[in-house]
Amino acid sequence: MSLLPPLKSLNDIATYIVADGKGILAADESNPTCSKRFDSISVESTEDSRRDYREILFTSKGMNGNIGGTILFDETIRQRSIGGVLLTDIIYSQGSLPGIKVDKGLNPFNESDSETLTQGLDDLDERCFEYRKLGAKFTKWRAVINIGADAPTQECIDANMDALAQYAKIAQKNNMVPIVEPEILMDGEHSAEDCLNASSRSLKSLFNFLDNYNVDITGTLLKPNMITAGSNNPDQISEDEVASLTLECLKQHVPDGLPGIAFLSGGQSDIKATHHLDAMNKMGGGPWKLTFSYGRALQQSALKTWLGKAENKEAAQAAFSHRALMNRLAASGKWSPDLEN
């Protein structure tokens, strides 16, 4: 039995995904990425083992009420559970909406060693039409911006944001909410100010292109990075500074009509990602919902508990459910570190 209210418009779908502190489970790892995660726990990555692991997540009690949307990979949206139930139907039964990653990864931009352009526009309309029939209610496309000696160039930013806007228009044409993800990578030694600069330039460009293509902002969600120093920079800033800089950037560049902003974790630890989200919601002041769209920061503890063993299923589900609840509380500004124990 579905827990979903009638969702008639793109705005209804986008608003539902981020309502009441709910966020998004990013379970859209490509098979090579999933293989790396499974290597860390010495589990062979096969179609069945990937299915088993994701079924553990999707059937966890913590999905219900905490996860408003679940991003899938092409393989997963077509899979059935061990019991023969479509995984998308399991997600729906938990009150979550299934979505789909539709970009096709990165190619070098203008033969650059450090800058990339996301691919996948050529056959996107046909793929979106099929994914809609397979049950997807929303889509995701990731643009990747690196900070380096001469990067990011405005040319690379604009090319990626143009592609993001074209993708968003095609997704909406197929009656699915687009999640636009302009990720400034944490990798590197750059400062938080460098991240703020690159993020500001990217968001300004993105919303200009979305406007140019007449994308309906009220039926769109944004998945940005937080403003942090590079992961190799010894001078990290505090949680409150991350929250303050991130809010400053968003208020300057994100229009009021956007229903929600669901942050990527971008390599942060699970607790750190939760802490930063909570700090932003305690500060508040923006017109949009501020929530999560985490992959590793939601899954890591469950993966390390599961270890590919059927007898660890319930413990892995408990670990995932805990992280899902902690992040819903953070999305409401009600988290505190002592809740982690």
Residues classed as catalytic: 181, 223
Count CB atoms within 10 A of the CB of residue 173. Answer: 12
Its sign, for the CA torsion 317, 318, 321, 323, is negative
Q: 256 Cβ partners below 8 Å, 6+ apart? A: 287, 288
Using CA atoms, how far apart are residues 143 and 82, in angstroms rounded to an integer?
A: 34
Whole-Å CA distances, 293 to 39, 87, 105, 140, 235: 24, 19, 19, 11, 26
- What tokens appear for 4 in the block? 């979903």
Number of H helices, E strands in the chain: 12, 10
Residue with tokens 């905490």: 66
Alpha helices (H) along 213-312: 239-253, 270-283, 296-306
165: nearest Cα among 126, 220, 116? 220
Its sign, for the CA torsion 105, 40, 51, 22, is negative
- What tokens appear for 252 in the block? 């300057």
CA dihedral 235, 237, 242, 248 (to 10 degrees): -80
CB 329 within 8 A of CB 296: no
Sequential DSSP letters for 44-58: ---HHHHHHHHHHHH
- What tokens appear for 168 in the block? 């968003």
CB 298 within 8 A of CB 69: no
